Amino acid sequence: MINDSNAAAKKLLVINSSSNGENSVTIRLNKYLTNAIQKKYSKIQITERDLATNPLPHLSSKAIQGFYTPVEQMNNEIKTALKQSDEAVEQLLTSDIVIIGAPMWNLSIPSSLKAWIDHIVRPGKAFKHEANGVVGLIKNKKVIVTLASGGVYSSGPMQSADHDKTYMKTILNFIGIEPIFVSVEGVGLPQKDANILLAEKQIDEIVLKI
């Protein structure tokens, strides 16, 4: 039976940040997610960004200047400096569903993913300051973050060292997004394959609800 939700085309944005290619657990999970979502929404439009092979540059002083410059006051130099950031923001804003691969590298996220975040978390586009604090501006999106770590960080002696999931939750909340997490821990341990299968079952349940 065809899903009624296929009547209107949705847009899916997939962000990969691992350099491990086919050996990457987050890339594997992102592919599984993409396939599951594509089965549910046959007309979905998919955009993929591989930050490992096509990374965004670190923010330049001109780009940061542009974040705080009204459009009508921008010169060509600032517009050029903002071009890649503008494209990344537009991709995010026009997507209905977003998948972000965020493997744990040295207790945090890959620098390529941090660069992408720096380009999209922009004042006036992703958040704004008000008298009572920060207000996130990005709404009405389903964002799924896939995580993978060599050891176990959700509990036990290494829990306080988890700056991967905690950072992703904090920064996405900051811009108005409540992410859904799919995590595979123990990639460096014997239970890796079993944990991946559990994550895939979790994905099946998530896709039913989005």
DSSP string spanning 34-96?
Answer: HHHHHHH-TT-EEEEEETTTSPPPPPPHHHHHHHTS-GGG--HHHHHHHHHHHHHHHHHHT-S
Which structure tokens are listed for 124? 């006036």
Q: Tokens 């586009």 correspond to what residue? A: 125
Q: Dump pLDDT digits (tens) for 24-45.
A: 999 999 999 999 999 999 999 9
Q: Dump pLDDT digits (tens) for 157-197.
A: 888 988 999 999 999 999 999 999 999 998 989 899 999 99
Beta-bridged to residue 12, according to DSSP, are 46, 97
Using the predicted structure, report yes or no on whether residue 55 has a pLDDT greater than 70. Answer: yes
CATH of segment(s) 4-209? 3.40.50.360
22 vs 7, residue with greater confidence: 22
pLDDT of residue 145: 98
pLDDT of residue 8: 65
Q: Tokens 């400096």 correspond to what residue? A: 81
Using the predicted structure, report yes or no on whether residue 4 has a pLDDT greater than 50. Answer: no
Please, which pLDDT band fits residue 10 given cuts at 50, 70 and 90? very high
What are the Cα distances from residue 66, in Å, to 74, 76, 98, 151?
7, 11, 26, 41
Using the predicted structure, report yes or no on whether residue 147 has a pLDDT greater than 50. Answer: yes
- The pTM (predicted TM-score) of the whole model is 0.93
Q: Tokens 């099946």 correspond to what residue? A: 204
Using the predicted structure, report yes or no on whether residue 206 has a pLDDT greater than 80. Answer: yes
Domain segments of the chain: what residues?
4-209
Q: Tokens 């026009």 correspond to what residue? A: 94
